[in-house]
A and B are shown apart, each in its own frame.
Chain A
Amino acid sequence: QVQLEEAGPGLVKPSETLSLTCGVSGYSISRGYYWGWIRQPPGKGLEWIGSLSQSGSSSNDWSLKSRVTISVDTSKNQFSLKLSSVTAADTAVYYCARHGEGTFDYWGEGTLVTVPS
């Protein structure tokens, strides 16, 4: 059974960098699929942030492009998200997920990150 778990600080100061990791068990990241980050501001909808392919190349939403870095550590079977220059608008529940072109099939439980205004 594939399981994902997000980890990282729950509070980040404005202008600093948000850093989260997603630990994966039950499946080797290097075997395939994309590994992505999705966020959900309080009371709002889901927003795709970016993803990493098995080859290590990353892509992300154009509106966040310059602030997002997604990387992988295959030795630990985990991948990471860094979002720089955060503001209160970045307050959200952050999810990591395994996905293909047409499906996000396994999700973490999510972690709330708050950026105070």
Chain B
Amino acid sequence: QSALTQPRSVSGSPEQSVAISCTGTSSDVGGYNYVSWYQQHPGRAPKLMIYDVTKRPSGVHDRFSGSKSGNTASLTISGLQAEDEADYYCCSYAGSYTWVFGGGTKLTVL
């Protein structure tokens, strides 16, 4: 499996919205509605933010939303806040009980 493709970095000002893309293939992102997103602050374990493409776990703010079109999934963060500054990773089921992560995107809040 090849890692899913994410932009290395994105940035936005407080209160703005940003979107992070995650591009795979028809064998992973495009083939299943099993994309998830994780937020990781330095030195911390990843935290689940979105699962099954669009679902939000209890406790995650509704400023975070997920979507998918074809082989590309996206995480949108609206109303950016300073604490959103972190690394974000997507993950997709890739069939045959295998999973693949994206390379990660560093979000900077200006």
Contact = CB atoms under 8 A, between A and B. Distances in A.
Contacts, number: 69
Given A46-B89, A46-B101, A102-B33, A59 B46 contact: no
Nearest to A36: B99
Q: Which of B46, B53, B100, B104 has the most CB of A within 10 A?
A: B46
A60 B1 CA distance: 11
Contact of B97 (A45, A46, A53, A107): A53
Interface in A78-113: 95, 99, 101-105, 107-110
Interface residues of A, number: 26
Interface in B34-70: 34-36, 38, 45-48, 51-53, 57
Interface of A: 34, 36, 38, 44-48, 51, 53, 57, 59-62, 95, 99, 101-105, 107-110
